[in-house]
């Protein structure tokens, strides 16, 4: 069973001859316990080309201390990482699948092998408040490590780590840092012992061409890079079945695909068409699980508000029997897709795009000159779709067009600030309204199926008929409200 711990810590270099200062008198600290001595030894695992270290992740098997076992550390914010833990297993055990799968977005089939052995002599102090609750933990480590360029020659150093306790505050971390700096210590340039050991062997992430931050290419590439980061960050969350993870990963995929299409005059659309197609495939796979989840929650929410006499029979049980196996199968399909060579090839293509993007001549132009016109083009396409939206299918196409416009405005928002942000919110309102209509279109045949399944099982299917009527009414209300909402949108005036 994997356990998860959030760690907020700071690491400091402690030169020889610089002593750890006393921690008495810090704000809120009532007592200090320690030092407690520990002997720790950890074997670190990575691919041969150090993909985990490059991405800021560490995977190790530690012996000694209070938390012996397998540890996977994932970035989770400034000075914060999430540590996933598993028991140590046998002495010669390979990294467990539960953790290995969570880094597959980086390893992409590459084998995880030992890359370093790090031994630590640790002294630990715990700073507590008046109730004895932990505020901050301070440790002084004497480190001996092998696995650098030579692999045999040991390196030694001394460092200090300061970790936030359950009752501690960032302000207290700052106070400890001021005391350490006054004593002659400074923040470590490495966030982990492994990266300090490996040094220049850790490959830097490609930054792509320098086209200028305010150029059209710079703005579009920054947006694409942001979505690529989001996609990679959501991958392990999808595998762990965390709330909203599938949705967030699907959105990042759609945003990237939309940017490639809308800004095809900046990043050559023809040369990214294959990648756009693969992003569409991934969004579709993720969409199966997401759409079922949305539909079930939609039905459950309405049922909860119905009077008891309008939902006779085992309605909730019928929903569970219908959706549970389908959602489970859709989730398995999503994870299988994330383990596929096709997905790994997509990730490689994203990396290649960001490292060496097929920029057009217009990419070096000023973003304020080049990009607003492309966003306005998305509006004109949406306007044509709205004019042709005479049925459910037409409204669905308009919804997709609104989403594309929203993402286009989102990409140029850093250029235009509040006007773009206000317009994006108005576009989102249009998209949300049309999304409610499409959800109703999708929901009604499912409700007919649920009613039929209930009848075949000898149950009362009346509630599903009630829901069907409510869904029809919701769709009609959207169709009544949409013209006024659309009329209030107008052209993107920030352009």
pLDDT of 442 higher than 80: yes
pLDDT of 143 higher than 70: yes
The overall average pLDDT reported for the chain is 93
Quick: pLDDT tens for 349-402. 999 999 999 999 999 999 989 998 898 999 999 999 999 999 999 999 999 999
Rounded to whole angstroms, the Cα distance separating 206 from 365 reads 23
Average pLDDT over residues 291-308: 93
Q: What is the pLDDT of residue 148?
A: 58
* Res. 90 pLDDT band, cuts 50 70 90: low
pLDDT of 322 higher than 60: yes
pLDDT of 427 higher than 70: yes
Q: What is the pLDDT of residue 239?
A: 96
pLDDT of 151 higher than 70: no
CATH number corresponding to 216-487: 1.40.20.10
Average pLDDT over residues 190-200: 89
Query: Strand 3-13 to strand 31-46: parallel, antiparallel, or no bridges (unpaired)?
Result: unpaired
Rama region for 56: left / alpha / beta (φ>0; ψ in -120 to 50; rest):
left
Residue 68 three-state SS? coil
Quick: pLDDT tens for 249-289. 999 999 999 999 999 999 999 999 999 999 999 999 999 99
C-alpha distances (whole Å) from 68 to each of 94, 101, 164, 293, 309 are 15, 21, 20, 38, 57
Surface-to-core class of residue 4, CB atoms within 10 Å of its CB (0-12 exposed, 13-18 middle, 19+ buried): exposed
pLDDT of 149 higher than 60: no
Q: What is the pLDDT of residue 415?
A: 86
Average pLDDT over residues 89-102: 85
Average pLDDT over residues 300-319: 93
C-alpha distances (whole Å) from 112 to each of 104, 152, 260, 319 are 10, 19, 34, 42
- Regarding the domain with residue range 3-201, which homologous superfamily does it belong to in the CATH classification? Hypothetical Protein Pfu-838710-001 (2.40.320.10)
Q: What is the maximum span of the chain, computed from C-alpha positions, in angstroms?
A: 82
Surface-to-core class of residue 38, CB atoms within 10 Å of its CB (0-12 exposed, 13-18 middle, 19+ buried): middle
Q: What is the pLDDT of residue 429?
A: 97
Q: What is the pLDDT of residue 200?
A: 84
pLDDT of 126 higher than 60: yes
Average pLDDT over residues 415-442: 94
pLDDT of 495 higher than 80: no
Q: What is the pLDDT of residue 150?
A: 53
Average pLDDT over residues 459-477: 95
Average pLDDT over residues 149-163: 82
Q: What is the pLDDT of residue 118?
A: 95
What residue segments make up the domains of the chain, in order of their start? 3-201, 216-487
Surface-to-core class of residue 32, CB atoms within 10 Å of its CB (0-12 exposed, 13-18 middle, 19+ buried): middle
Residue 148 gets which letter from DSSP? Answer: S
Of residues 187 and 209, more confidently modeled: 187
Residue 445 three-state SS? helix
pLDDT of 92 higher than 70: no
pLDDT of 319 higher than 90: yes
Strands (E), 129-231: 134-146, 155-164, 186-187
pLDDT of 193 higher than 70: yes
Q: What is the pLDDT of residue 147?
A: 85
pLDDT of 133 higher than 60: yes
pLDDT of 152 higher than 80: no
Rounded to whole angstroms, the Cα distance separating 258 from 476 reads 29
pTM of the model: 0.90
Q: What is the pLDDT of residue 53?
A: 94
pLDDT of 37 higher than 90: yes
pLDDT of 45 higher than 60: yes
pLDDT of 206 higher than 90: no
């Amino acid at each position: 069973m994997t356990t998860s711990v959030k760690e907020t810590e700071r690491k400091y270099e402690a030169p020889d001859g610089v002593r750890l200062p006393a921690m008495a008198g810090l704000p809120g600290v009532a007592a200090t316990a320690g030092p407690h001595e520990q002997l720790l030894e950890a074997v670190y695992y990575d691919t041969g080309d150090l993909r985990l270290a490059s991405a800021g992740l560490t995977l190790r098997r530690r012996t000694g201390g209070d938390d012996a076992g397998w540890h996977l550390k994932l970035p989770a914010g400034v000075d914060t990482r999430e540590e996933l833990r598993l028991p140590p297993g046998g002495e010669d055990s390979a990294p467990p699948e539960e953790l290995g799968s969570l880094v597959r977005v980086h390893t992409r089939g590459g084998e995880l092998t030992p890359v370093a052995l790090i031994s630590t002599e640790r002294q630990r102090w715990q700073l507590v408040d008046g109730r004895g609750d932990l505020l901050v933990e301070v440790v002084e480590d004497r480190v001996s490590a092998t696995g650098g360029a030579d692999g045999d020659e040991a390196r030694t150093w001394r460092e200090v780590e300061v970790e936030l306790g359950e009752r501690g505050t960032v302000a207290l971390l700052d106070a400890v840092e001021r005391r350490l700096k006054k004593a002659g210590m400074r923040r470590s340039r490495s966030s982990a012992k492994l990266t300090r050991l490996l040094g220049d062997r850790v490959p830097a992430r490609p930054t792509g061409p320098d086209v200028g931050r305010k150029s059209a290419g710079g703005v579009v590439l920054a947006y694409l890079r942001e979505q690529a980061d989001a996609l990679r960050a959501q991958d392990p969350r999808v595998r762990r079945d965390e709330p909203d993870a599938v949705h967030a990963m699907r959105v990042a995929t759609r945003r990237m695909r939309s940017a490639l299409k809308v800004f095809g005059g900046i990043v050559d659309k023809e040369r990214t068409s294959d990648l756009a197609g693969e992003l569409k495939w991934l969004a579709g796979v993720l969409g199966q699980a997401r759409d079922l989840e949305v539909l079930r929650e939609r039905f459950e929410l309405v049922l909860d508000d119905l009077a008891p006499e309008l939902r006779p029979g085992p309605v909730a049980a019928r929903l569970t029997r219908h959706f549970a196996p389908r959602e489970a199968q859709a989730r398995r399909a999503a994870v299988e897709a994330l383990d596929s060579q096709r997905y790994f090839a997509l990730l490689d293509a994203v990396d290649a795009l960001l490292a060496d993007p097929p920029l057009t001549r217009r990419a070096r132009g000023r973003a304020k000159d080049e990009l607003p016109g492309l966003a306005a083009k998305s509006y004109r396409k949406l306007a044509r779709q709205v004019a042709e939206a005479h049925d459910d299918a037409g409204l669905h196409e308009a919804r997709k067009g609104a989403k594309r416009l929203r993402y286009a405005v989102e990409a140029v928002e850093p250029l235009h600030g509040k006007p773009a942000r206000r317009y994006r919110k108005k576009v989102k309102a249009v998209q949300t309204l049309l999304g409610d209509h499409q959800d109703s279109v999708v929901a009604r045949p499912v409700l007919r199926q649920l009613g039929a399944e209930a009848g075949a099982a000898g149950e009362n299917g009346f509630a599903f008929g009630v829901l069907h009527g409510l869904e029809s009414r919701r769709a009609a209300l959207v169709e009544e409200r949409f013209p006024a909402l659309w009329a209030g949108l107008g052209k993107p005036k920030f352009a």
